[in-house]
């Protein structure tokens, strides 16, 4: 079971390498999406429409990011990225899910209550942590996905 | 502890459970056996706590725990037990120095992470699916958890088999010694195949059930089937064309048009108006008058209609687009005609894409006074509350003067989608009417706040004292002041901390009077479980506001027969307030959270079902038609929380709600 899937050799290896690159691509896309997400949050905050409507794009992109993060984790697992990488991708997915949870918890304290505001502030901090984790994933996965291929080329 | 608190606590324990199991799995994969063992113990304890919160929550009603009891907990229990039995001894052995310390114990990691996946799956099902749990959901969920376990095993298999760590860090496990592994590998292969069979089987069952015919389009509520035979179209259910003896004909033209409106605060807003003002032209009548309103749509994109909120008009006058009429497009018109038999405070608003139209200003007030009332020497103010650009305002508010002793009536109308808190400082008062209907024996109260649901109305009455009185909205968002003399000072500032006042419970307010409906056996009983979840809304998937797990127009119609005594049990599983509104009928409040209404009979058209609450209401089916039955938080209705109550033998030529909703989707 384990002997076939060496990185870089044979058709299975090719597919695996392709998956690794796909993962790197997904992680980069996620990072960009999260940056856009910050922009949407800020523009929503200064929109005069009611909150539900002003943050509609932010919310939609948020759900998309969650779906993408889960897909990325699965791709990482299928591509046999190192366990730590899969763990990081899973962590990113978890942190994205936490963004919704923070919102729900803050809302549960009641609209406009100060405790709710304080809890909701964590949403922004968590957003920064997500950027950090994704940045780490992108940097490391680029090394993993391209280095062996380059070395292969140099050898041949 | 309130049910809402319990729901939150249960969510918190669920999150903790996920974190604990993941932590145990990750530490085990980092070869920290001792720490992993401690975390396993913690995770088991949290899983037990989760069972505890579910048990307590079950006491508040099966609706709150069904998916947890039938799927989430059993799945977690099996996975946690497996983790305890498999990973427990292995981890303990490792802490005592047995086994290869430098190698990842794949079996332990897999069972611990599988428990984490089970915990996640249970939580996700609660959040995304809610009530009711279907076999389809259960099958797919189990398939996903097992697939997650298999994938984890496969990844670990590769890693522990000594594949060099691609990150460039050589695997400390070194070269694999394949020989002694062989028996374990074949066992793994067996488990892998078995797991694969479970995944494919469960997923196949789930998908197979998805293409199975959906739930019936009609909910009979335990009553008889619909009769076949000629149906009356709603277009035949129109209002009478003459006032009652002694009444007059009150004709109005309401032209829906865009306009820039100056608020009392001096701010200009781009509004949608009736006759160029927000609120639109106030409609007033004396009991028995005939109200005739010609609605003209001048330039409102999409369309408009007029719905007479709380007024039990014949169905053809109800203004539900696609159900009782076609929505009125720009250039079109529609005439509404009905007799003002019902006294009290009501309002009208567009019912087409109303989550946008009403917010932008397409609403107005409707007040019908009794024939014998003496207007002289009274101050009677109609005060619609509306939020413009995030600022709550009271139209017709500001300052009024009424000499001491004057009988004052303040008619509050909440035209927003969220509830408001109202307080009257500087006098004692009575809540004379709720939703237009007089209460029995309302007592004098003071220092008490009122919770005004979205769409609801309260009539507050008091005799003017010789000091100023202030009506305070929310935390002083807006204030209406009545002074005994123009130069009288503001009310006592000590009375200003109105947010700290207790809230009036209308279920215990006033004098109880026997009402036959309260004890009559119900001919039909419908349960509406309100929640959030993934559902189809207008033909596309959404994180919807759902009724029994569905969004409009896929929520089954509720069928009633004329003369039926109908009961609703309305359960709010979500963390948001849902002001429930049935068109065409007032409902009698029977109980809230099992506590019977012990005050004046409370007839309302909109009742706020707050998070975790369970309301029982009843009404007599005495107004034939097809009636919208929805959440009056209008964005919620748009996001799926809307269905219809249909009388047996009534039909609509307008293509139904589906058509209406489809249309409104294009405009919004």
pLDDT in tens, B527-562: 999 999 888 898 888 889 999 999 988 899 999 999
pLDDT of B221 > 70? The answer is yes
Range from A45-54, B345-354, B447-456 carrying the lowest mean pLDDT: A45-54
When CB atoms are compared, the residue of B11, B154, B543 closest to A63 is: B543
Measured from the Cβ of residue B79, the count of other Cβ atoms closer than 10 Å reads 25
How much is the pLDDT for B38? 95
Range of weakest confidence among B339-353, B507-521, B652-666: B652-666
- Region of poorest pLDDT, from A19-23, B102-106, B231-235: B102-106
- pLDDT at residue B656 is higher than 80: no
Residue among B543, B350, B303 nearest A56 (CA): B543
Residue B578 above 50 pLDDT? yes
pLDDT of residue B161: 62
pLDDT digits (tens, 9 = 90+) for B8-50: 899 999 999 999 999 999 999 888 889 999 999 999 999 999 9
If you count residue pairs, one on A and one on B, with CB atoms under 8 Å apart, how many are there?
74
Pick the residue from chain B with its C-alpha nearest to A103. B575
Q: How confident is the model at residue B657 (pLDDT cuts 50, 70, 90)?
A: low
What's the rounded mean pLDDT across residues B511-540?
92
Interface of A with B in 133-152 (CB under 8 A): 140, 143-144, 147-148
Contacts of B441 (CB under 8 A, 6+ apart): B510, B511, B600
The band of B661, judged by pLDDT with boundaries at 50, 70 and 90, is very low
Q: What average pLDDT does range A5-12 have in this prediction? A: 55
Range with lowest mean pLDDT among A32-41, B198-207, B455-464, B645-654: B198-207
* Beta-bridge partners for B588: B603, B618
Residue B178 pLDDT: 39
A2 touching B, CB under 8 A? Answer: yes
Spatial distance between the Cα atoms of B401 and B480, rounded to a whole number of angstroms? 11
* Yes or no, beta carbons of A77 and B156 under 8 Å apart: no
Residue bearing the bigger pLDDT, B387 or B496:
B387
The whole-model pTM stands at 0.86
The mean pLDDT of B120-131, rounded to a whole number, is: 90
Structure tokens at B626: 């097809």
Q: What is the pLDDT of residue B168?
A: 39
The stretch A116-140 carries a mean pLDDT of: 92
**pLDDT of A7:** 45
Q: Which of B67-81, B255-269, B322-336, B504-518 has the lowest mean pLDDT?
A: B255-269
At B378, is the secondary structure helix, strand, or coil? strand
Using the beta-carbon criterion (under 8 Å), do A101 and B15 form an inter-chain contact? Answer: yes
Summarised one tens digit per residue, pLDDT across range B589-648 is 999 999 999 999 999 999 999 999 999 999 999 999 999 999 999 999 999 999 999 999
Alpha-carbon dihedral angle through residues A28, A34, A35, A39, given to the nearest 10 degrees? 150
Cα(B495)–Cα(B475) distance, integer angstroms: 13
**Model confidence pLDDT, tens digit, residues B157-177:** 766 665 444 333 443 444 444
Whole-angstrom distance, CA of residue A69 vs CA of residue B121: 16
- In total, chain B counts a number of residues equal to 668
Report how far residue B315's alpha carbon sits from residue B583's, in angstroms, rounded to the nearest whole number: 9
Q: Which residues in chain B are closer than 8 Å to A147, comparing Cβ atoms?
A: 168
Interface check B522 vs A, CB under 8 A: no
Q: What does the alpha-carbon distance between residue A65 and residue A144 come to, in Å, rounded to a whole number?
A: 23
Calpha distance B554→B440 (Å, rounded): 40
Hey, how many other C-beta atoms are within 10 angstroms of the C-beta on B148?
22
d(CA B585, CA B283): 21
How far apart, in whole angstroms, are the C-alpha atoms of residue B502 and residue B500?
Answer: 7
CB contact under 8 A, A82 and B151: no
Amino acid B538: pLDDT: 87
**B267 at the A interface (CB within 8 A)?**
no
Asked if A77's CB is within 8 angstroms of B155's CB, the reply is yes
What beta strand segments (E) does B179-263 contain? 218-219, 232-233, 249-262
Whether B197 has a pLDDT exceeding 90, the answer reads no
pLDDT at residue B662 greater than cutoff 50 = no
Comparing A22-26, A68-72, B653-657, which segment has the lowest mean pLDDT?
B653-657
- The confidence score (pLDDT) of residue B163 equals 46
Return the pLDDT at A151: 47
Between B156 and B212, the higher pLDDT residue: B156
Residues of A in contact with B150 (CB under 8 A): none
Lowest model confidence (mean pLDDT) among A2-11, B326-335, B398-407, B654-663: A2-11
Locate tokens 């009122």: which residue? B450
Q: What percent of chain B has pLDDT over 90?
A: 64
* pLDDT given for residue A152 in this prediction: 46
Chain B CB contacts of A6 below 8 Å: 163
- Range of lowest pLDDT (B53-62, B91-100, B492-501, B577-586): B492-501
pLDDT tens sequence across A67-87 = 999 999 989 988 888 888 888
pLDDT (mean) for B214-226: 81
Query: pLDDT value at position B212?
Result: 58
pLDDT of res. A153: 46
Beta bridge partners of B90: none
Tell me, yes or no, if A85 comes closer than 8 A to chain B by beta carbon: yes
Residue range B55-75: mean pLDDT, rounded: 95
Q: Answer positive or negative: Cα dihedral of B1, B133, B14, A114.
A: negative
Query: Closest partner residue to A82 among B11, B165, B359, by Cβ?
Result: B165
* Cβ-contact B493, B479 below 8 angstroms: no
C-alpha distances out from residue B659 to B307, B309, B652, Å? 18, 22, 12
- pLDDT computed for residue B202 by the predictor: 77
Query: H helices of B472-543, where?
Result: 516-519
Instruction: With beta carbons under 8 A apart, name residues in chain A contacting B541.
Output: none
Q: What is the mean pLDDT of chain B?
A: 88
The more confident residue out of A98 and B98 is A98
| Predicted local distance difference test score (pLDDT) of residue B492 | 67
Quick check: A147 and B4 CB within 8 A?
A: no
Whether B296 has a pLDDT exceeding 80, the answer reads yes
* ipTM for this model: 0.73
- Give the angle subtended at the CA of B356 by the CAs of B667 and B576, to the nearest 5°: 125
Q: How confident is the model at residue B367 (pLDDT cuts 50, 70, 90)?
A: very high
Q: CA B219, CA B561: separation in Å to the nearest integer?
A: 12
């Amino acid at each position: 079971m384990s002997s076939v899937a060496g990185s870089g050799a044979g058709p299975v290896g090719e597919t695996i390498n392709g998956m690794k690159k796909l993962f790197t691509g997904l992680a980069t896309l996620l990072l960009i999406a999260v940056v856009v997400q910050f922009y949407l949050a800020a523009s929503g905050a200064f929109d005069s429409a009611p909150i539900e409507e002003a943050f509609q794009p932010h919310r939609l992109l948020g759900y998309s990011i969650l779906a993408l993060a889960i897909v990325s984790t699965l791709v990482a697992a299928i591509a046999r990225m190192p366990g730590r990488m899969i763990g990081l991708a899973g962590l990113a997915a978890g942190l994205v899910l936490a963004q919704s949870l923070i919102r729900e918890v803050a809302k549960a304290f009641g609209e406009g209550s100060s405790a709710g505001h304080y809890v909701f502030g964590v949403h922004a901090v968590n957003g920064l942590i997500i950027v950090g984790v994704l940045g780490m994933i992108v940097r490391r996965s680029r090394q993993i996905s391209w280095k062996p291929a380059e070395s292969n080329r140099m050898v041949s | 502890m309130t049910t809402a608190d319990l729901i939150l606590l249960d969510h918190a324990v669920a999150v903790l459970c996920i974190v604990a199991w993941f932590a145990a799995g990750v530490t085990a994969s980092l070869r920290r056996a001792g720490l992993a063992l401690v975390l396993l113990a913690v995770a088991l304890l949290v899983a037990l706590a989760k069972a505890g919160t579910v048990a307590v929550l079950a006491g508040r009603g099966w609706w709150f725990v069904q998916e947890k009891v039938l799927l989430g907990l059993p799945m977690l229990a099996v996975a946690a037990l497996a983790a305890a039995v498999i990973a427990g001894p292995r981890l303990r052995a490792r802490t005592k120095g047995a086994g290869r310390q430098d190698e990842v114990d794949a079996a332990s990691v897999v069972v611990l992470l599988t428990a984490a996946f089970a915990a996640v799956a249970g939580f996700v099902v609660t959040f995304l699916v809610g009530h009711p749990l279907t076999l389809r959901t259960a099958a797919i969920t189990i398939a996903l958890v097992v697939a997650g376990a298999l994938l984890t095993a496969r990844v670990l298999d590769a890693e522990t088999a000594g594949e060099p760590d691609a990150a460039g860090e050589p695997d400390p496990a070194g070269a694999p010694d394949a020989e002694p592994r062989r028996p374990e590998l074949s066992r793994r292969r067996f488990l892998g195949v078995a797991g694969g069979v479970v995944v494919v089987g469960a997923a196949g069952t789930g998908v197979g059930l998805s293409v199975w015919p959906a739930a019936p389009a009609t909910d009979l509520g335990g009553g008889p089937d619909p009769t076949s035979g000629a149906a009356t179209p709603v277009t035949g259910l129109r209002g009478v064309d003459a006032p009652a003896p002694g009444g007059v004909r009150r004709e109005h033209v309401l032209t829906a048009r865009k306009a820039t409106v100056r608020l009392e605060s001096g701010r200009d807003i781009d509004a949608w108006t009736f006759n160029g003002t927000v609120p639109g032209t106030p409609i007033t009548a004396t009991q028995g008058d005939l109200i005739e309103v010609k609605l003209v749509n001048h330039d409102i994109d999409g369309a408009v209609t007029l719905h007479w909120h709380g007024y039990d008009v014949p169905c053809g006058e109800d203004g539900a687009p696609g159900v009782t009429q076609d929505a009125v497009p720009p250039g079109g018109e529609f005439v509404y005609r009905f007799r003002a038999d019902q006294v009290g405070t009501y309002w009208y608003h567009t019912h087409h894409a109303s989550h946008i139209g009403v917010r932008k200003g397409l609403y107005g007030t409707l007040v019908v006074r009794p024939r014998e009332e003496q207007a002289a020497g009274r101050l009677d103010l109609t005060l619609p509350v509306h939020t413009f650009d995030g600022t709550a305002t009271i139209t017709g508010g500001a300052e009024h003067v009424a000499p001491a002793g004057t009988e004052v009536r303040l008619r509050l109308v909440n035209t927003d989608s969220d509830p408001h808190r109202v307080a009257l400082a500087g006098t004692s008062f009575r809540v004379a009417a709720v939703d237009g209907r007089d209460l029995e024996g309302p007592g004098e109260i003071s220092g008490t706040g009122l919770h005004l649901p979205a769409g609801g109305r309260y009539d507050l009455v008091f005799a003017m004292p010789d000091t100023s009185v202030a009506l305070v909205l929310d935390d002083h968002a807006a204030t209406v002041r009545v002074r005994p003399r123009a130069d009288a000072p503001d009310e006592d500032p000590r009375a200003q901390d109105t947010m700290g006042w207790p809230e009036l419970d209308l279920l215990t307010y006033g004098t109880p009077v026997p009402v036959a409906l309260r004890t009559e056996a119900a001919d039909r009983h419908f349960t509406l479980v309100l929640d959030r979840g993934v559902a189809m809304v207008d033909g596309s998937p959404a994180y919807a506001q759902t009724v029994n797990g569905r969004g409009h127009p896929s929520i089954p119609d509720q069928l009633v027969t004329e003369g039926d005594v109908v009961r609703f049990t309305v359960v709010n599983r979500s963390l948001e307030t849902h002001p429930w509104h049935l068109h065409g009928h007032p409902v009698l409040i029977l109980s809230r959270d099992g506590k019977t209404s012990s005050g004046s009979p409370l007839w309302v058209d909109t009742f706020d079902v707050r998070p975790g609450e369970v309301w029982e209401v009843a009404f007599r089916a005495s107004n034939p038609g097809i009636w919208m039955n929805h959440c009056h938080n209008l964005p919620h209705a748009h996001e799926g929380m809307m269905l219809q109550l249909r009388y047996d033998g009534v039909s609509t030529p307008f293509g139904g709600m589906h058509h209406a909703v489809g249309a409104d989707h294009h405009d919004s």
